[in-house]
Amino acid sequence: MLIRWGWLCPWLAILLAAGVLVAFGLNWWSALLAALFLVCPALLLWGLYVTRPQPDEADAPTDGMLMDWTAPFYDIYCSAIGLGEGFRAQTLRVAAIQPGEKVLDVGCGTGVLTRMAAEAAGKAGSTMGIDPGADMIRVAREKARRTGNAAGFKVAAIERLPFADAQFDVVLASLMLHHLPPATRRAGLAEVHRVLKPGGRLVVADFQQPTNLAWWLVLWPFLMMPSVADNLRGLLPNQIREAGFSRIEIRGYRAGLITFMTAVKSPQIGG
Ligand SMILES: C[S@@+](CC[C@H](N)C(=O)[O-])C[C@H]1O[C@@H](n2cnc3c(N)ncnc32)[C@H](O)[C@@H]1O
């Protein structure tokens, strides 16, 4: 119902705003023009929301923070804030994916990294991206189809991975753990540990304790947001350890805020 008739709302809002301006003495044409400018931001937002293509499947249930509404312009946004190709290339260097490996990208978003991982794993390997946001997965699938990339995509959440135990050589978690409240993050990391083969590795790129004061000045309000606060307080390596991983190593930094980390599932099954 909302989707069907939602487009009327901005126009009604414009008429209403124009009516108010007429009551203040403007003539109807000036009032309509002024109202159009007043309501334009709302109109744009509604336009984006109402006209976006509807995904053919539902989001996966999660209390993680989705970013579905950004799906159509997410890649442009990442490049604009310095998380474009250079950042992806750095993540891949840390992941060191070998031809033939089985890779899972959790919280893959529009699948930029997933598609790069699929190229690194080659024909002998396989790569799967999961995200609870159906819009993100729709965009990821579409981009893979257009570029002839072999990566597969599923709507799913990290805390309920639809895969059997010990399936993957590598799990990538890029900029997604800070979207998970603490309990979901614990459940998600345990799931990642379950689906990795013994000796398999987890590769994390995410916010860490800022290394300079300027970042603290910008980011301190996020200390009130439990999912992000854990990262800013530097708790991530310990949380990864608590999920059963060992050999947790910091492999690089970006802009004094993002850390690249690797961790290994013990080669002993159940270890
Ligand atoms: C900032 S985006 C990162 C996307 C991509 N990995 C990247 O590097 O650009 C965070 C992603 O985490 C996803 N997310 C939120 N809750 C999640 C969950 N419970 N399981 C898996 N992904 C989740 C969001 O839908 C979103 O696509």
Quick: pLDDT tens for 163-183: 999 999 999 999 999 999 999
- 47 with 160, same domain: the answer is no
117 contacts 89 by C-beta, under 8 angstroms: no
Helices (H) and strands (E) in the chain, counts: 11, 7
Q: Is the CB of 111 under 6 A from ligand 1?
A: no
- Look at residue 51 and tell me whether its pLDDT is greater than 70: no
**Confidence band, pLDDT 50/70/90 cuts, at residue 157:** very high
Q: How many domains does the chain have?
A: 2
The pLDDT of residue 271 is 46
88's CB contacts (< 8 A; 6+ apart) are 112, 113, 116
- Domain enclosing residue 43, as ranges: 2-51
- 82 with 205, same domain: the answer is yes
Instruction: State which amino acid sits at residue 260.
Output: F
pLDDT, tens only, 100-150: 999 999 999 999 999 999 999 999 999 999 999 999 999 999 999 999 999
Ligand 1 atom index nearest CA of 184: 19
46 lies in a domain?
A: yes
- 197 with 143, same domain: the answer is yes
- 189 with 229, same domain: the answer is yes
188 lies in a domain?
A: yes
Residues 217-245 have a mean pLDDT of 93
167 contacts 221 by C-beta, under 8 angstroms: no
Average pLDDT, the chain: 89
CA 146 / ligand 1 centre spacing (Å): 22
The pLDDT of residue 214 is 86
Q: What's the CA angle centered on 200, arms 196 and 204, to 5 degrees?
A: 85
Residues 43-54 have a mean pLDDT of 61
Q: Is the CB of 179 under 6 A from ligand 1?
A: yes
211 lies in a domain?
A: yes
- 75 with 41, same domain: the answer is no
Q: Is the CB of 129 under 6 A from ligand 1?
A: no
Query: Strand 196-207 to strand 258-265: parallel, antiparallel, or no bridges (unpaired)?
Result: antiparallel
Of the listed ranges 42-51, 76-85, 123-132, the least confidently predicted one is 42-51
Exposure string of 182-201, with b = 16+ CB inside 10 Å and e = fewer, is eebbebbbebbbbbbbeebb
Residue 196 belongs to domain with CATH number:
3.40.50.150
CA 38 / ligand 1 centre spacing (Å): 34
The pLDDT of residue 123 is 96
Shortest CA distance to 177 belongs to which of 228, 121, 223, 119?
228
- 163 with 231, same domain: the answer is yes
> Residue 265 corresponds to which tokens in the numbers above?
């599932």
To test the ligand 1 pocket, which listed residue (77, 105, 131) has its Cβ within 8 A of the most ligand atoms?
Answer: 131
CA atoms within 13 A of residue 1's CA, in its CB half-sphere: 0
- 22 with 119, same domain: the answer is no
- 39 with 137, same domain: the answer is no
**Confidence band, pLDDT 50/70/90 cuts, at residue 77:** confident
- 21 with 79, same domain: the answer is no
Q: Is the CB of 133 under 6 A from ligand 1?
A: yes
